[in-house]
Amino acid sequence: MENNTLQLANLRRNAPAESARKFQESFTQQLEDFDARLKKQAEADLATAKESKLDVGDIERLDEVQETWQKGMEELGELKARMGGTVAKMERAQRAVDFVEGKE
């Protein structure tokens, strides 16, 4: 009986640390295996991509598409430049509304 009690006490002291160590080792090994498989798959995908040929052929209205893209980018730049003034006006208007409504 005393032997069983000593065994149980020993297990209570050592089993949690041993279980944690085994789990950590297993997790680390699985992570390394996963990383190796992921790297191997990425290399295979890259090799496949390098072997692929992309032929879009003749693109109809290519000049029109490029022109539209360029115009859109210019308009976005102008909008961005004007945005600061608009935001400032909106903030001033909001402060005026707050003042009139007595919130300030």
Average pLDDT over all residues of the chain: 88
Q: Does the pLDDT of residue 101 top 70, yes or no?
A: yes
Grade residue 87 by pLDDT with cuts at 50, 70 and 90. confident
Amino acid at 88: A
Cα-based angle 38, 41, 45 (whole degrees, multiple of 5):
135
Residues 19-64: pLDDT tens digits? 999 999 999 999 999 999 999 999 999 999 998 887 777 778 888 9
**SS3 category, 80:** helix
Over 70: is that where the pLDDT of 104 sits? no
Q: How many residues does the chain have?
A: 104
Q: How many CB atoms lie within 10 A of CB 41?
A: 10
> Nearest 5 degrees, angle CA 69-CA 71-CA 75?
115
